[in-house]
Amino acid sequence: MYYIRVQHHYSEINVINGINMSPSSLTPGLEIRVEHHPLKLILEKVAKGEIAIPIFQRDFVWGPEDVRTLFESILSNFPIGVIILWRPPGDINIPYIYFTDDIRKVTAKREPEYLVLDGNQRLTAILLAYRGWKIIRGGREIVTDPICLVPGGLSKVELRICHNSEIGVRLDKAIKAFIEYDFKLAEEIMKRVNEPLKNIIRDLMIKLVEYRIPVYYYETTTIAGNIELPALIAESFIRINKSGRRIGNVELLASLAIAVLNGDIGAKIRETYSELSRIGVDYSLFYRTLIKVFGFKQTDVARVPLKKIRPLVDKLKTLSRDEVESRLERLKSAIKSVYEAFNTLLSVSSLDELPSQISLVPVAYYMYKFEIDKQKLSHDEAQKVLGLYVLMNFRGTLSGSGSDSRLEKILAQIDDSGVIGVYKKAKDIGRLEKITGKDLIEPIKARYLEHKAFLFRVLLTLNKADDWTGNLINFAHKDLEIHHIFPKNIYGEKADCLANLTFVHKKVNRELGAKDPLSYITNIRQETLERHFMPIDITKYKNIEEFVKERAMLIVEHGKELLPEIFGARG
């Protein structure tokens, strides 16, 4: 175990062989200790409610491939990064949620000891594996595809996403058997493999449950009188997470600044967020829009220097309750209008069904700035607003390096001339290029599939396409799966492009499996195929390259009718 204190003015954390070498003039109120816990112990802490998720953390967004890669890394004994847990001081109130709803019954009235600052996605993925790939959090179901240990050559085992539970050994059952010492379950699942593979799987499971993860514990005694402490937490996070990746500094700093305001203003802001969270609003949407509404730039609080957080708190303290309430009511109305618009257009029942909420910030601010509600939103405006969200999501405009600067430019254009101004200045803003046929035939990496495929799901919804069983595609449909028209396991990387994908009912997807499209396509109604932007006669194409090129042009052609502002050249 190592104990370290983070300094206010020093750029290094001074620990040598576990001995604190820092000078005595340390920042009071913040201490960090580091422990290496086996995976089994971390799961126990989660199950007991000792660890919870602060509301400013984003929801679980990993896809099945991300989960598979995580366990592949663990079983290969590769590092998977650190977990950072924070014990907030008693003088602030940070809203939180347990990893699963049933944990609250176990914990009764006891509060969690720590909140997760970094590691929510990994901990949720591990918990999903332990719980059979499905959990309930905040009344909502979180599900991912099963993963199996399957033979991968002579006396080898590999991890695969498996819809057919008869293949190999289910990873979730193996983990449960070894964590709970359930010998009966272990014996049952091992019947499917030969003796050499049994020994390999047994060794892998022992390695998995004993796999050690570095856990950083942040201890804070008080924030009162030390307003820079939240920024210091963010700064130390970047130093520990050596890649420099941010933990959503705007959300972290803003939400902690609000938490310091324990009077009427802080209470009103927290109350407004609590109400909006019922329609799936997360911290990134609420606090980033709030920052703009109260006259700050995203870049004012996006960086970690300590001086950045004080003006936010000081300015909020100068506002009267009436002024705060007036702005918050308009903000609440604007975000509710965003929800109502997306519900009307896409049948979205909760905003957390969308792949990114930070991309909703410009939409929410547009509604706020021009006081637009659902009734005043014309068809043309609705196309532009939805198109901007889809384009930002597709291009990753508000992710990665420079995202805060790009968001600020977008909000400035909305101030100047509304959403249309963003389209006109797209080149100056960056990462807002129109979508072309070329984009649709380029291979997609697994980690970007959900965000890229969102474009296609929106187009199918607007085009009133069905799921190949007669049910309309929209975001209320919970049984959709991505289908590769030309199967991936035959055509490899060539099949992993948008022009080769569509959404169908999961039963259809699993029935078709890796079948050649020529063997089933004639059994599907022509109108259904047309609404999926499919060429009328795919038998004429000599190869997959010809098919995806033609289909990409059809998608762009129809896309210009459905969302005209975001599509460019066909080829």
What is the tens place of the pLDDT at every residue in 372-405?
876 688 889 999 999 999 999 999 999 888 898 9
189 vs 275, more confident: 275
CA dist 240 and 236 (Å) reads 6
Q: In the predicted model, what is the mean pLDDT of residues 293-308? A: 67
CA dist 207 and 201 (Å) reads 10
Residue 368: predicted pLDDT: 96
**Contact between residue 149 and residue 201 where contact means Cβ atoms under 8 Å apart:** yes
146: Cα separation from own chain's centroid: 19
Q: Which of 18-22, 189-193, 450-454, 497-501 has the highest mean pLDDT?
A: 497-501
Which 8-state DSSP code applies to residue 467? -
- Tell me the CA end-to-end span of the chain in Å, nearest whole number: 58
Residue 13: predicted pLDDT: 38
Q: Map residue 50 onto helix, strand or coil.
A: coil
Backbone dihedral region of 332: left (phi > 0), alpha (psi from -120 to 50 degrees) or beta?
A: alpha
Q: Map residue 319 onto helix, strand or coil.
A: coil
Per-residue pLDDT band at 88 (split at 50, 70, 90): confident
pLDDT, tens digit (0-9, with 9 covering 90-100), for 233-258:
655 555 555 444 444 556 555 665 66
570 contact partners, CB below 8 Å, separation of at least 6: 436, 437, 552, 553, 556, 557
Backbone dihedral region of 430: left (phi > 0), alpha (psi from -120 to 50 degrees) or beta?
A: left
**Contact between residue 328 and residue 272 where contact means Cβ atoms under 8 Å apart:** yes
Fill in the amino acid letter for 553: M
Q: Map residue 12 onto helix, strand or coil.
A: coil
Q: Is 112 buried (19+), middle (13-18) or exposed (0-12) by CB count in 10 A? A: buried
Q: Which two tokens stand for residue 159?
A: 């991890």
CA dist 14 and 435 (Å) reads 49
CB atoms within 10 A of CB 568: 15
Q: Which of 91-105, 244-258, 426-440 has the highest mean pLDDT?
A: 426-440
Q: Which of 24-38, 356-370, 440-454 has the lowest mean pLDDT?
A: 24-38
**Contact between residue 405 and residue 299 where contact means Cβ atoms under 8 Å apart:** yes
Backbone dihedral region of 492: left (phi > 0), alpha (psi from -120 to 50 degrees) or beta?
A: left
Angle subtended at Cα 144 by Cα 142 and Cα 150, rounded to the nearest 5 degrees: 155
Residue 6: predicted pLDDT: 37
% residues pLDDT > 90 (the chain)? 44
Q: In the predicted model, what is the mean pLDDT of residues 484-495? A: 90
**Closest to 133 in 3D by CA, of 148, 117, 152, 149:** 148
Q: Which long-range contacts (CB under 8 A, 24 or more apart) does 188-197 make?
A: 192/168, 193/151, 193/168, 193/169, 196/155, 197/151, 197/155, 197/157
**Contact between residue 344 and residue 396 where contact means Cβ atoms under 8 Å apart:** no
Q: In the predicted model, what is the mean pLDDT of residues 407-414? A: 96
CA dist 400 and 406 (Å) reads 10
Residue 114 has φ and ψ, to the nearest 5°, of -140, 150
Beta bridge partners of 118: 84
**DSSP, residue by residue, 376-419:** G--HHHHHHHHHHHHHHHHHTTTSSTTHHHHHHHHHHHHHHHHH
In the predicted structure, residue 81 carries a pLDDT above the cut 70:
yes
Burial 233-266 (b: 16+ CB within 10 A, else e): bbbbbeebbeeeebbbbbbbbbbbbbbbbeeebb
72 vs 198, more confident: 72
pLDDT, tens digit (0-9, with 9 covering 90-100), for 195-216:
777 788 888 888 888 899 999 8
Q: Say what the pTM is.
A: 0.72
Fill in the amino acid letter for 205: M
Beta bridge partners of 53: 97
Fill in the amino acid letter for 226: N
**Contact between residue 94 and residue 225 where contact means Cβ atoms under 8 Å apart:** no
Which 8-state DSSP code applies to residue 358? G
152 contact partners, CB below 8 Å, separation of at least 6: 158
In the predicted structure, residue 535 carries a pLDDT above the cut 80:
yes
Residue 28: predicted pLDDT: 55
CA dist 263 and 91 (Å) reads 12
Q: Which two tokens stand for residue 133?
A: 């790939």
Q: At what angle do helices 321-346 and 283-293 cross, to 10 degrees?
A: 130
Match 């509710």 to its residue by tokens.
336
Q: In the predicted model, what is the mean pLDDT of residues 419-439? A: 95
Beta bridge partners of 119: none
pLDDT, tens digit (0-9, with 9 covering 90-100), for 108-119:
557 899 999 889
**Contact between residue 91 and residue 223 where contact means Cβ atoms under 8 Å apart:** yes
